[in-house]
Structure 1
Amino acid sequence: MNNLTKLRLVILLSIVTFFFNCSDSVETLPPQESTNISVTLESSLASYDALNVEISDVLVKTKDNGAAPDCWISLHANGLGNINLLELTNGSNLMIVNNLPVKTSEIYEVRLVLGNNNTVIIDGQSYSVSAPENHQEGLSVPSIHLLQGGNNYTINLKVNIDNAVVENSVNNYKYLNPTMEVQLFSSN
C-alpha cells in the first residue's frame, strides 16, 4: 500500500468513526443533560361496573410554542391494551412508562392519548364510548415543571372518572369526558 492509499484509509475511518460517535441520542448525553421519566396512572372511584380505556400514548409538551414541530415528545406508552380504570383506585396504580431517558427540559403540558376501543359497563351492559371533539387528541393538563438533569421523575396521572361518561339524550350516545390531575415526584 502506498502512502496516499494509507492516508485515504485513515481519513475514511476517521469520518466513519466521527459519524457513529456523534449521535445525539439521549442515552449518550451526559447525566446533567438527561433525565429518566416514569409515568403512573391511577383513577378515582365511580358508579360504573367498569370503564375500559385504550391508551395509545403519553405525550409531554416540552416547548411553550405549540406550533413548533417538535414541541410534543412521545413517552412510548403504546401496546398497553385496554385498561379498566376502576382497577386503579384506592392506592393502586399502573406503571405505563418506566424510566424512559429524555433530554432535560421543561414540561408545559401532559397528554394521555386514548385509542378508539373504549367501553363503559353500567348495570352489566357494555356501551362503546368515545372522546368528544375537545378530547380527540387526548386528555391534556397544563403542567409547568422543570426537569433537572440527573434526576428521576415520576409523573402520576390521576383520572377522575366520577361522572366521566356523559349521555346525549337525543340519540343515547355516550361519550367520555373525564378530568385529569398531574403530580410530579422527583428522586435523585
Structure 2
Amino acid sequence: MRKQFFNLKFLCLAVFTGLALSSCSDDDESGAAEGDARISVRMVDAPGDYEAVNIDVEQVQVQTGAEDDENEAWISLDTEAGIYNLLELTGGVSQLLADEEIEAGYAGQIRLILGDDNTIVENGEEYPLATPSAQQSGLKLNLNQELEPGEEYFYVLDFDVDESIVTQGNGGYTLRPVIRISAGDDAGMIVGEVHPSEFRSLVTATNASYSISAYTNAEGEFALYGVPEGTYQITVEADPISGLDDLTVNNVVVDDDETTDLETLFLE
C-alpha cells in the first residue's frame, strides 16, 4: 500500500506575533501535492517588557501516532535552526522554522527543542536564560489532529515572553516557555495600524473567555494571530511617555480563517 504524506511546515517566532493563518512562504502557492497534506507552523511573541529576548531554536519534531501506541514515533523536521529575537516578531512578522512532508495521519504533538544560547537584554545588559526542561526533552505542544492527505494545515505558536521568563533569587533568569498553539482554520486574525507610530502601543483583544495582546512595530502595525471566533473589545494602550490617551473599539467581530482589518486607529 502506498503511504500518503503531508507537508509539515513550521513557522517560528512572531507575536501569529508570527504564525500566519495563510501561506507561509512564496513557494506555498502550489498547495499540497495530491495525496499529501501540508502543515505550516509559525511562532510569535506575546508582549514582554525587555529590550531583546533571544531564543535558540535547534529542532522541531512532530509526534505521529497516538501516545503509547505501537505506531507512535517522533519525526525530526528539517529545521531552520538559529537564534531569533522574539521582539522582532511583531506587526505580522514571523519566522519559518521548518517545511517538510511527512506521512499523513494522526499528529499528537509538536516538540520544540531549544539550545543553550538563550539570552535577554534588559537596561542594555545581556543576561543568560537557563532552559533546563527545554534542553533535556523539548517543549511539547498538543495538536491531537488527524492530518488528511491533500489538505494544508497552518499553526501559530505564540510565545508569551512575560509568562516565560522567571527571575531567580540570585538576579539571574530562567526560561520556562509558555507557548499557545492555534490552528489557522480554527481561528481568525486581527490586524491594523496605530498612529502616531513613533510610540509603541499595546493592542489587546478581549471577550468573556479570551484575551490576546501584541505590541505595534516601528510603523505602528500590529497583528493578533490565532484569535478564536467571536466578538471582542479592542483596547489600545498608549506608551505612558507619549501623553496620549488610550483607545477602545467595541464589537469587533472575528470569524474563523478570516482576517479582520481595523485599518488605522488614531490616538489623541
Q: TM-score, normalised by structure 1?
A: 0.73
What amino acid does structure 1 have at the position aligned with 2:160?
A: N
Give secondary structure in 2 for the equivalent of 1:129: strand
Cross-structure match for 1:40: 42
Higher strand share: 2
Aligned length: 160
User: Can you give the 5+ residue segments of structure 2 that lack an aligned partner in the other structure?
Assistant: 7-32, 186-256, 258-268
For 1:65-80, list aligned pairs within 5 A: 65-66=67-68, 71-78=73-80, 80=81
- 1:57, 1:179 → 2: CA distance? 17
**Structure 1 residues 38-57: Cα deviation after superposition (integer angstroms, max 9, x where no partner):** 22121111001100011111
**Structure 1 residues 64-89: Cα deviation after superposition (integer angstroms, max 9, x where no partner):** 235858521112214x3210011112
Cross-structure match for 2:209: none
Cross-structure match for 1:140: 140
Aligned-pair CA distance for 1:115: 0.9
1:149 aligns with 2:149: yes
Residue 140 of structure 1 contacts residue 180 of structure 1 at CA under 8 Å; is this kept in 2? no
Residue 34 of structure 2 contacts residue 149 of structure 2 at CA under 8 Å; is this kept in 1? yes
Larger radius of gyration: 1
Cross-structure match for 1:176: 175
1:83 aligns with 2:84: yes
Q: TM-score, normalised by structure 2?
A: 0.53
**Structure 1 residues 7-57: Cα deviation after superposition (integer angstroms, max 9, x where no partner):** xxxxxxxxxxxxxxx997959xx833x322222121111001100011111
What amino acid does structure 2 have at the position aligned with 1:83?
A: Y
Residue 139 of structure 1 contacts residue 180 of structure 1 at CA under 8 Å; is this kept in 2? no
- 1:74, 1:68 → 2: CA distance? 18
- 1:110, 1:183 → 2: CA distance? 12
For 1:16-165, list aligned pairs within 5 A: 31-32=34-35, 34-66=36-68, 71-78=73-80, 80-98=81-99, 100-133=100-133, 136-165=136-165
Higher helix share: 1
**1:23–1:63: structure 2 CA closer, same or farther, 3 Å change rule?**
closer
What amino acid does structure 1 have at the position aligned with 2:77?
A: L
Higher relative contact order (CA 8 A, sep 6+): 1
RMSD: 2.7
- 2:50, 2:117 → 1: CA distance? 17
- 1:157, 1:35 → 2: CA distance? 19
Aligned-pair CA distance for 1:128: 0.8
Q: Percent identity?
A: 26
Give secondary structure in 2 for the equivalent of 1:136: helix
**Structure 1 residues 139-170: Cα deviation after superposition (integer angstroms, max 9, x where no partner):** 2222211111011222221111114211220x
User: Can you give the 5+ residue segments of structure 1 that lack an aligned partner in the other structure?
Assistant: 1-21
